[in-house]
Amino acid sequence: MPARPYREPSPVEPDPVPQQSEAARLGSLRSVHAPPPLRRALLGPILIAALIVAIGAAGGASRTILVALAAVTLAILAWEPLRNRGWSAALHAQGLVLLRRGTRRVVTFDDVNEVWYEIRPIHNQAGAYLGALRLVDYSGEEHRLPLAVNDGGTLAISVLRECSGPLLVEARRALGEGEVLTFGKIQLDRAGITVGGARMMWGEIRLAVVSHARVRLYRRFPIMAWRTIRLDRIPNPGVFVGLVEQCAAKTRVDDPLLVPFTSGDEKLRAQAAQGDNEWALREMLVGGLFCVAGIAFTLATYSAVSNSYILAWGAILFGAFRFYKGLASLLRGPRL
């Protein structure tokens, strides 16, 4: 991918420069992050699948249907832990060392040209659920950084600050010099922003709201957004949000953890962490109610005479899944 106009690689020195050692390029080690042991990560999905089989067997459901339903449930819930097995990241002052199944990659923050967000389709009260970061260097090579690890929030904030912070400084300077900056299909300059071919001057934008991995731009009447921009579909979304904050007349950031270097208020972070816990408890409550309701409906439709019933597997599976996600979030702690 081409370098952005506000982020150019260092010019090539005319004389050969001695190669730095890896330790010098990375700096001191700050922390090591790895996913939880696979047996612990798979315990929840296995228990939920077993619960579905036990409930269905108690109601006399077909063994074939139960096995298929349990297999689908287990596959959905176990996909992410299995995908991240054997992975770890060592965070250094100036870069990362990524280990995955014997493969070792070194990524220095100065070599990162683009940062992409992977947003999970589950959101909470505090903001978006950031599942992974994708770092693209100047050669076009992509490095995926899963965040389902111990202290994943600290890892993500550190990487975002080191990679996107310098980009934001350069972008603001380029904007002040009159350059047009490009973020995917979006272009902005100090006069206005162009989204999907439609142009709007900054003076016409009354409010910009950053919420649940989206930036909503409102005109004079902040009821219907003029344009909604998904942060997981543009490169360097943190830089983009920082520029919108600078140019728009008024900006409200409801995702303080998603753009940490532009909204670093510790009070907002505490509120976000509290919102995470509230969301987790609410998910457990709603999921438990759906699961119990599905079981109750199945038992209520059971007929002893005809030995038939209606298995409310949708409600049971949906409820079990939401309960599991809430419980996992509560045990894991605040997330991005």
Q: Which of 158, 188, 193, 194 is nearest to 175 (CA)?
A: 188
Mean pLDDT of 262-291: 62
Picking from 178, 192, 186, 200, the residue whose alpha carbon sits closest to that of residue 239 is 186
Q: b/e map of 95-105 (b: 16 or more CB within 10 Å)?
A: bbbbeeeeeee
In sequence order, what are the beta bridge partners of 98?
89, 105
- Please tell me what DSSP assigns to residue 249: S
At 279 the pLDDT is 62
**Contact criterion met (CB below 8 Å) for 253 and 212:** no
The 10s digit of each residue's pLDDT in 95-140 is 999 998 778 999 999 999 999 998 876 554 444 577 889 999 999 9
The CA-atom distances, in angstroms, between 242 and each of 125, 150, 229, 283 are: 22, 28, 14, 32
Mean pLDDT of 312-325: 78
Is the per-residue pLDDT at 143 higher than 90? Answer: yes
Q: Which helix (H) or strand (E) holds 132?
A: strand 127-137
At residue 25, the 3 state secondary structure works out as helix
What are the pLDDT digits (tens) for 154-195?
888 889 889 988 899 999 999 999 999 999 999 999 999 999
User: What is the pTM (predicted TM-score) of this model?
Assistant: 0.69
Sheet with 181-183, strands from edge to edge, namely: 181-183, 186-188, 192-195, 198-201
3-state secondary structure of 115: strand
Contact 253, 210 (CB under 8 A): yes
Average pLDDT, the chain: 79
What local confidence, expressed as pLDDT, does residue 335 receive?
46
Give the residue, 247 or 329, on which the prediction is more confident: 247
Q: Which of 7-11, 126-130, 305-309 has the lowest mean pLDDT?
A: 7-11
What's the confidence (pLDDT) of residue 265? 46
DSSP state of 298: H
- What b-and-e string marks burial along 244-275, b requiring 16 or more CB atoms within 10 Å of the CB? bbbbbeebebbbbbbbbbbbeeeebbeebbeb
Cα torsion 50, 53, 56, 59: sign: negative
Give the whole-angstrom CA distance, residue 243 versus residue 229: 14
The pLDDT, as a whole number, for residue 331 is 59
Q: What is the mean pLDDT of residues 39-52?
A: 79
